[in-house]
């Protein structure tokens, strides 16, 4: 009663006006920034269409220059996702359903802490710690599974391969996927879970029957967000990966595909003229790919949400 009275009596207070204006302004800033980035990338990238081979590391045209980088970007991100997704879902389930409460929340915080580690630190760790320790496993893979194209070798002597880079990426995207999945798992309707248990389901069966179907769309969007992060990650990849710009599925050799972001970071400092435009053009391609991934995630989530609410 009293709230309706105040609303009709003073429809516009100063505070309301200022706040709505400020909030609206803030949201506009985002739009302006995004549009600004897109416009910059397009304007600076277009001249690269006329780039000569000398500006493109000897590649005949922009497409031939960008294609191996796109491959490397998607390939590294894909491996990272394949490693990170099962791990993240496992951690999220442990936190939300398995671990005793006293253990669960510290575990959750620890995973979140992984997101606070700067990517340069991950890069250093990958070069100095992880890489050298992966050399013996890579040699083993080369000797015993060398018939698979993934492990064709020759094994790298420093361990700075695309698989190492993907493992580092997987650890970097783990907190994103875990955090979102964990939230969704814990939102599973209690009634569904109890109904499954009442029917005699074990805890794993309960999770399979009630938690996972409910959380499916959330998991997908979490994975998509992780994928976006993995594709855009620059510093860690630039440091860890021994990149030569080839197109290969070989995971353990010293000669690896490069990624768009890492290539920009490595080439920009000494680039001049059209070469800068070419790098910006690859940045535009990455921008578009990331957008597509994010839109795909939104589409999947909204479709699944509709089917859940029905």
Partner 1 sequence: MNMPQNLGRAPRRILVPGITALALGLALSACGASNEGSSSGKSAETLDGAGSSAQESAMDAWRSAFQKDNSNVTVNYDPSGSGAGIEKFNAGGIDFAASDSALNADKGEIDAAKKRCGADAIEVPNYVSPIAVLYNVQGVKDLQLSAKTIAQIFDGKITKWNDAAIAAENKGAKLPSTTISPVHRSDESGTTDNFTDYLEQASEGAWSHPADKVWPIQSGEAANGTSGVVAAVGQGDGSIGYADLSQAGDLSSVKIKAGSAYVAPSAAGAAKAMEASPVEDGRPESDIAIKVDRKSTEAGAYPLLLASYLVACPTYDDAKTADNVKGFLSYVVSTEGQQAGADNAGSAPLPASLQEKAAKIVDTISSKG
Residue ranges in contact with partner 1 by CB under 8 A: 2, 13-16, 18-19, 21-23, 25-26, 29, 57-58, 127-128, 131-132, 135, 154, 156-160, 238-239, 241-246, 254-256, 258, 266-273, 275
Alpha-carbon gap, residue 128 to 110, rounded angstroms: 23
Give me the least distance between CB of 25 and partner 1, in Å please: 6
Q: Report the alpha-carbon distance of residue 192 to residue 174 in Å, rounded.
A: 28
Q: Which two tokens mark 180?
A: 């979102």
Sign of the Cα pseudo-torsion (119, 125, 127, 132, in order): negative
Cβ-Cβ contacts under 8 Å for 276 (sequence gap 6 or more): 44, 268
Q: Which residue, 75 or 185, is less far from partner 1 as judged by CB?
A: 75
- Which residue's CB is nearer to partner 1, number 109 or number 268? 268
- Rounded (10°) angle between helices 131-144 and 162-186: 100
Shortest Å, Cβ 276 to partner 1:
8
Query: Please, which residue, 118 or 273, has the CB nearer to partner 1?
Result: 273
User: What are the residue ranges of helices labelled H in 55-211?
Assistant: 62-93, 101-114, 119-125, 131-144, 162-186, 190-198, 203-206
The nearer residue to partner 1, 21 or 106, going by C-beta atoms, is 21
When computed from its CA atoms, the radius of gyration of the chain, rounded to whole angstroms, is 24
Nearer to partner 1, 106 or 128 (CB): 128
Shortest CA distance to 173 belongs to which of 125, 117, 229, 91? 229
Return the residue matching tokens 């979102």: 180
Q: Which is nearer to partner 1, 92 or 166 (CB)?
A: 166
Q: Is 153 left (phi over 0), alpha (psi -120 to 50) or beta?
A: left
Contact between residue 173 and residue 84 where contact means Cβ atoms under 8 Å apart: yes
Distances (CA, A) of 83 to 26, 76, 216: 37, 11, 18
**Pairwise CA distance, residues 304 & 297, whole Å:** 11
- Return the structure tokens found at 273: 């003229």
- The least CB distance from residue 268 to partner 1, in Å, is 8
Residue 154: CB minimum distance to partner 1, A:
6
Q: Give the nearest distance from C-beta 134 to partner 1 in angstroms.
A: 12
CB of 254 to partner 1, least distance (A): 4
- Name the residue nearer to partner 1 (CB basis): 85 or 253: 253
CB of 161 to partner 1, least distance (A): 10
* 178 versus 258: smaller Cβ distance to partner 1: 258
- Residue 141 CB, nearest distance to partner 1 (Å)? 16
Min dist CB 144 to partner 1, Å, is 18
Token couple for 229? 């992060």
**Local structure of 253: helix, strand or coil:** strand
- Looking at the Cβ atoms of 96 and 242, the one nearer to partner 1 is 242
């Amino acid at each position: 009663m009293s709230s309706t009275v105040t609303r009709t009596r003073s429809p516009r207070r100063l505070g309301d006006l200022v706040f709505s204006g400020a909030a609206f302004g803030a949201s506009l800033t985002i739009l302006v920034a995004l549009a600004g980035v897109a416009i910059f990338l397009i304007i600076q990238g277009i001249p690269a269409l006329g780039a000569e081979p000398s500006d493109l590391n000897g590649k005949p045209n922009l497409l031939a220059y960008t294609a191996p980088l796109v491959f490397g970007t998607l390939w590294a991100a894909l491996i990272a996702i394949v490693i990170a997704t099962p791990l993240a879902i496992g951690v999220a389930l442990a936190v939300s359903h398995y671990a005793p409460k006293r253990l669960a929340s510290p575990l959750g915080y620890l995973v979140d802490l992984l997101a606070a580690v700067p990517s340069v630190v991950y890069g250093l760790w990958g070069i100095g710690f992880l890489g050298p320790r992966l050399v013996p496993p890579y040699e083993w893979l080369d000797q015993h599974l060398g018939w698979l194209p993934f492990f064709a070798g020759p094994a790298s002597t420093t361990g700075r391969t695309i698989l190492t880079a993907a493992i580092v990426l997987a650890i970097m995207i783990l907190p994103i996927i875990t955090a979102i999945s964990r939230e969704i798992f814990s939102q599973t309707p209690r009634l569904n879970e109890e109904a499954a248990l009442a029917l005699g389901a074990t805890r794993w069966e309960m999770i399979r029957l009630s938690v996972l179907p409910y959380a499916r769309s959330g998991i997908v969007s979490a994975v998509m967000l992780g994928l976006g992060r993995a594709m855009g990650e620059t510093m860690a990849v630039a440091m860890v990966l021994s990149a030569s710009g080839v197109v290969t599925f070989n995971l353990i050799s010293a000669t690896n595909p490069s990624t768009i972001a890492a290539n920009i970071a490595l080439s920009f400092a000494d680039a001049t003229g059209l070469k800068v435009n070419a790098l910006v053009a690859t940045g535009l391609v990455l921008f578009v790919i990331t957008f597509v991934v994010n839109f795909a995630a939104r589409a999947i989530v909204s479709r699944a949400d509709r089917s859940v609410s029905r």
